[in-house]
Amino acid sequence: VNGPPKDALGDVDVETFRREAHRLVDWIATYLAEPERYPVLSPLAPGDVRRLIPTTAPRSAEPLARILDDVPQAVLPGVTHWNHPGFFAYFASSASGPGILGEMLTAALSVNGMLWKTSPAATEMEVAVLDWVRQMMGLPEGFFGVIQDTASASTLVALAAAREAVPGLDARRQGLVGQARLRMYASAEAHSSIEKAGIVLGIGQDGCRKIPVDDTFRMDVAALRQAIDEDRAAGLTPFAVTASVGTTSTTSIDPVREVAQLCARERLWLHVDAAYGGSAALDPGMRHVLDGAEAADSLVVNPHKWMFVPLDLSVLFTRRPDVVRAAFSILPEYLRTAEETAAPNLMDYGVSLGRRFRALKLWMVLRAFGHEGMAARIREHIRLAREFEGWVRADERFEVMAPAPFSVVCFRGGFPALPAGEQDAANQRLMDAVNATGQVYLSHTRLRGRLALRMAIANLRTQERHVRRAWELLQREAGRLGA
């Protein structure tokens, strides 16, 4: 069989690339200029997109122009627009222009920063830019930062290091079978990624003990102390506590300082999950949210949540990089380099060998907005949440369901004609109705057994008018549903 002609091998020709790339950038610029052009929540049903995609791979080459022309009908209807200013679900992740350009350059360079030598800029920029972030957050010197893809990965790496630090345990070499039964702790409101790390690390879900929270959803430190005592008495080995700064449901802040004191006394690794909330500390007026975190062994913050960096980029800070390295470093001959003692090889600080040049987009965003610009945007989101909370409190048909220390408000409507058992379903209908308008997207949680709607404001493009519109829609639909 003859192969393709020689001149058809290699990449598409550069002039075609240039033309189509210009066209794509124009499209992106219009998309960013008109972020409300599409419904925020994709209206499609499961399988709708799949049906539009051929079931077998293309046999012969297609022109780039035709592939890109397919985007509006093949891709966009199935996109939920996280960049839409009416995106109030979960925690926002919005892509700033500089972040998009950084991502583009990362793809173009396509370096693998596994070793210092495989791209010195990737390693050294990562180290330098994460030290900017450390300073911007008010964390002390000595916290070493390393980029992971997500907070789930950062927490997994942190807790693997915590396991590595257990005296007399050699999990790295021997595994855990037949060894001490480990226990770690987090509040009942902590994110599921902590439990998932427990599954991966052989601690097991039963090894992740959930500590009750107080009436403001903060970890009860007395209950933590008691749990540790009970577990020690039962012959288990406590080794780590995760405290949250900004829990996923309500954004509550655990009493980190008290937890840190207990961890110091009990010689337990303290990991702080500040995936969303940590960004608030970029505003000097919000530094208090990290009170006590300077004593943490590790801390995770996600620039892809509230620092306007496109997915994905999570930062793991640790005061004990040597332990992280001890947990993960493996150096086969083919990865040895002459520089390995003079410069870090960031593959040693996580699960994956290959590492994208993610620091580039963070560098671009931090320079384009500056510390002041980042803080001003975060401050504005917090102000908008205050406003929204005020409106909810002023309307007797609604109730606020938790304190709102950041930019997320948990609330729900009351439907007097319905029995208590149907209030959750009515609130679900309220949420579905506002989401069906295509103008806003809110998600929900459950607080003390009751359904709560979450208004999470952290999108770069959200302005006061979008928050106002969300409130108008909520009031209108609540009225229609009999609130």
Ligand X SMILES: Cc1ncc(COP(=O)(O)O)c(C=O)c1O
Q: What residues line the site for ligand X (CB under 6 A)?
A: 91, 150-152, 191, 193, 244, 246-248, 273, 275-276, 302, 314
Q: Which residue do the tokens 């620092």 mark?
A: 307
Structure tokens at 449: 């057994």
Longest CA span, the chain: 77
DSSP-assigned beta bridge partners for residue 243: 272
Amino acid at 445: T
Closest CB 243 distance from ligand X, rounded Å: 11
Closest CB 80 distance from ligand X, rounded Å: 15
Under a CB-based contact definition with an 8 Å cutoff, are residues 298 and 318 in contact? yes
Distances (CA, A) of 258 to 188, 254, 264, 291, 293: 17, 9, 10, 10, 10
Residues 6+ apart with CB under 8 A from 298: 154, 158, 161, 162, 269, 270, 271, 272, 316, 317, 318, 319, 320, 324
Closest CB 458 distance from ligand X, rounded Å: 11
Residues 6+ apart with CB under 8 A from 415: 422, 423, 426, 481, 482, 483
* Choice between 244 and 475, CB closer to ligand X: 244
- Four-point Cα dihedral 327, 332, 338, 344, nearest 10: -20
* Choice between 166 and 281, CB closer to ligand X: 281
Under a CB-based contact definition with an 8 Å cutoff, are residues 464 and 387 in contact? yes
Closest CB 271 distance from ligand X, rounded Å: 11
* Choice between 291 and 340, CB closer to ligand X: 291
* Choice between 155 and 439, CB closer to ligand X: 155
Closest CB 146 distance from ligand X, rounded Å: 15
Termini Cα distance of the chain: 72
* Choice between 93 and 106, CB closer to ligand X: 93
Structure tokens at 302: 């996600």
Closest CB 311 distance from ligand X, rounded Å: 8
Cα separation, 3 vs 275, in Å, equals 51
Of 151, 122, 482, 476, give the one whose Cα is nearest residue 307.
151
Q: What are phi and psi of 8, to 5 degrees?
A: -95, 0
Structure tokens at 237: 């080995």
* Continuous H helices in 138-214: 151-164, 171-174, 192-200
Closest CB 247 distance from ligand X, rounded Å: 6
* Choice between 246 and 321, CB closer to ligand X: 246
Closest CB 191 distance from ligand X, rounded Å: 4
Residues 6+ apart with CB under 8 A from 260: 243, 270, 292, 293, 295, 296
Task: Give the three-class secondary structure for 231.
Answer: helix
Closest CB 289 distance from ligand X, rounded Å: 13
Under a CB-based contact definition with an 8 Å cutoff, are residues 268 and 238 in contact? yes
* Choice between 278 and 321, CB closer to ligand X: 278
Of 210, 180, 178, give the one whose Cα is nearest residue 192.
210
* Choice between 155 and 345, CB closer to ligand X: 155
Cα separation, 315 vs 303, in Å, equals 7
* Choice between 261 and 443, CB closer to ligand X: 443
* Choice between 266 and 312, CB closer to ligand X: 312
Structure tokens at 397: 């048909």
* Choice between 244 and 318, CB closer to ligand X: 244
Closest CB 152 distance from ligand X, rounded Å: 3
* Choice between 150 and 337, CB closer to ligand X: 150
Closest CB 274 distance from ligand X, rounded Å: 8
Closest CB 317 distance from ligand X, rounded Å: 14
